[in-house]
Amino acid sequence: NAGVMQNPRHLVRRRGQEARLRCSPMKGHSHVYWYRQLPEEGLKFMVYLQKENIIDESGMPKERFSAEFPKEGPSILRIQQVVRGDSAAYFCASSPGPDWDYGYTFGSGTRLTVV
């Protein structure tokens, strides 16, 4: 039973390009959570999605960032017109439902570098 899978592991983008980060939840999980870890900072919650529905996006920057979790396929975190400040590690976690008692398993993350 594979864990949470994220790809790519490393992503380099030039300023102004778009970045797409993918997260495939654990089998049977329909809820996904995205976190960002900026250099020298702790992990910060970004967005919580259920399939075809955004539950809480209170941690998402208002501009350039969007997330989706379609009925089929992985969850996608999309960053348009990337800037140097977007360079960070992006992690996702998943759960079978909203009320999950057993802790969260995170993927290995995507490290985005904007040059």
Partner 1 sequence: KQEVTQIPAALSVPEGENLVLNCSFTDSAIYNLQWFRQDPGKGLTSLLLIQSSQREQTSGRLNASLDKSSGRSTLYIAASQPGDSATYLCAVRPSSFRSTSYGKLTFGQGTILTVHP
**Residues that bind partner 1 in the complex, under the rule CB under 8 A:** 31, 33, 35, 41-45, 48, 55-56, 59, 91, 93, 95, 98-109, 111
Of the two residues 52 and 56, which places its CB atom closer to partner 1 in the complex? 56
Of the two residues 16 and 97, which places its CB atom closer to partner 1 in the complex? 97
From the list 24, 18, 21, 23, the residue with the least C-alpha distance to 10 is 21
Rounded to a whole number of angstroms, the minimum distance from the CB of residue 44 to partner 1 is 8
Would you tell me how many other CB atoms lie within 10 Å of the CB of residue 25?
A: 26
Distance CA 21, CA 99 (A): 26
Of the two residues 47 and 82, which places its CB atom closer to partner 1 in the complex? 47
DSSP 3-state assignment of 85? helix
Helix (H) or strand (E) holding 106: strand 105-106
Rounded to a whole number of angstroms, the minimum distance from the CB of residue 111 to partner 1 is 7
Rounded to a whole number of angstroms, the minimum distance from the CB of residue 85 to partner 1 is 19
Rounded to a whole number of angstroms, the minimum distance from the CB of residue 30 to partner 1 is 12
Structure-derived torsion over alpha carbons of residues 96, 99, 103, 109, reported in degrees to the nearest 10: 50
Of the two residues 13 and 31, which places its CB atom closer to partner 1 in the complex? 31
